[in-house]
Chain A
């Protein structure tokens, strides 16, 4: 069945290292979201794309985070350099313009030591 996939599922890294997270949206979905979830802040939007074009990345710390969609089947979120405060679960979600539902991937649990 159609699902959003994310890799890796878990990542432990040291402060200062680069982290790359990948997301494969559901085939045919033209809208992709990156959210971050922490206990303190809950789920927060980092960035979103429609038809591979970034529409809003105001939730991302621009100096260290970058998000791209190299093609319609792949979205990436990079952190360079990573910091302990980036420790969180990062969710990718996809959907279709004109429809309400966003389908979430299983998330990448990131721990920065």
Chain B
């Protein structure tokens, strides 16, 4: 089976730091992805981890622990425009562009 869990909703203050956690149990693993989706829009790619550790990209960082089946997305210096859903997704099969299994998303609200 496959299971990807993330909190349903989070609220954080503008300028603060927020960490969105994701745990997964899947029949295979070949990479973990984070996507951002604003209300009524398409998901857009944020980050990709396939090895353990932290990947940093500007205000966003993503961490992976394969032994724990755990990842987090860290957003620093939060801005109002960061209010969106954040989707954790796992690629189960061969590397390259193959289908992703998505969690249900974490809706982040950034407040003043």
Which candidate, A11-19, A63-71, A77-85, A101-109, is the interface stretch facing chain B? A101-109
Compute how far the CA of A12 lies from the CA of B91 in the bound complex, rounded to whole angstroms. 33
Compute how far the CA of A105 lies from the CA of B102 in the bound complex, rounded to whole angstroms. 17
Q: Is the CB of A102 within 8 A of B104?
A: no
Contact with B along A76-112 (1 / 0, CB 8 A): 0000000000000001000111111111111100000
Contact with A along B68-112 (1 / 0, CB 8 A): 000000000000000000010101000011111111110000000
Q: Could you say which interface size class chain B belongs to?
A: 20 to 34
Compute how far the CA of A107 lies from the CA of B42 in the bound complex, rounded to whole angstroms. 7
Interface SS of A by simple majority: strand
What distance in Å separates the Cβ of B112 from its nearest Cβ neighbour in chain A? Answer: 27
* Segment 14-71 of A: residues with Cβ below 8 Å from B: 31, 33, 35, 41-45, 48, 56
Query: Which B residues are within 8 Å of any A CB, using their own CB?
Result: 31, 33, 41-45, 48, 87, 89, 91, 96-105
Query: Which 7 A-B pairs have CB atoms at the shortest separation, nearest pair first?
Result: A104-B42, A42-B104, A95-B97, A43-B102, A31-B97, A45-B99, A101-B45
Query: Which A residues are within 8 Å of any B CB, using their own CB?
Result: 31, 33, 35, 41-45, 48, 56, 91, 95-107
Q: Can you pick out 19 interface pairs between chain A and chain B where the beta carbons lie within 8 Å of each other?
A: A31-B97, A41-B104, A42-B87, A42-B104, A43-B102, A45-B99, A45-B100, A56-B99, A95-B97, A97-B96, A99-B97, A100-B45, A100-B97, A101-B45, A102-B97, A103-B45, A104-B42, A104-B44, A106-B42
